[in-house]
Amino acid sequence: MWLSDAQKIGVALTSFGGLFMMLGIVLFFDGALLALGNLLFLSGITLIIGPTKTFYFFARKQKIRGTACFLGGILLVFLKWPFIGVIVEVFGFLNLFGDFFPVIVTFLRQLPFIGNLLSLPFISTVVDRVAGSRTSAV
């Protein structure tokens, strides 16, 4: 599967958004970095899956609580309440994107070094519990 140029830019924007959000948290909840990270993340997601699919993803009935918390957290960051905004945003993020965690864990387990690390006894149990995935019978 090949990515279009807009999708490639979207992946870069989403990655930079995540980087800026992590930097904003590491630098004691710097509001400017968090706000920039949020804008980059949302614009990147929009470029990756398209504006219509992005709207329908965030507007689904079963995701409305996650959407409200995620967008409310972004609003709190813009209103200069970065610590509380990030907490609310993380709760919304987990509600919105929590369904993808088992898929991500399955993908990471197939990578050379990370897969071995995630297969260690204690780490495997913790990752399965956090991701909500079940152990395979293989």
How far is Cα of residue 35 from the mean position of the Cα atoms in its chain?
15
- HEC string of the chain equals CCCCHHHHHHHHHHHHHHHHHHHHHHCCCCHHHHHHHHHHHHHHHHHHHCHHHHHHHHHCHHHHHHHHHHHHHHHHHHCCCHHHHHHHHHHHHHHHHHHHHHHHHHHHHCCHHHHHHHCCHHHHHHHHHHHCCCCCCC
CA–CA distance, 35 with 20 (Å, rounded to integer): 9
* Predicted TM-score (pTM) of this structure: 0.81
Per-residue pLDDT of the chain (138 residues; tens, 9 = 90+): 688 999 999 999 999 999 999 999 999 999 999 999 999 999 999 999 999 999 999 999 999 999 999 999 999 999 999 999 999 999 999 999 888 888 888 888 898 888 899 889 999 898 888 887 655 544
What's the pLDDT at 138?
A: 44
Q: For the chain, what are the domain ranges?
A: 5-97
Please give the single-letter amino acid code of residue 58.
F
What's the pLDDT at 80?
A: 95
Please, what is the Cα angle at 99 between 9 and 119, to 5 degrees?
Answer: 95
What's the pLDDT at 133?
A: 60
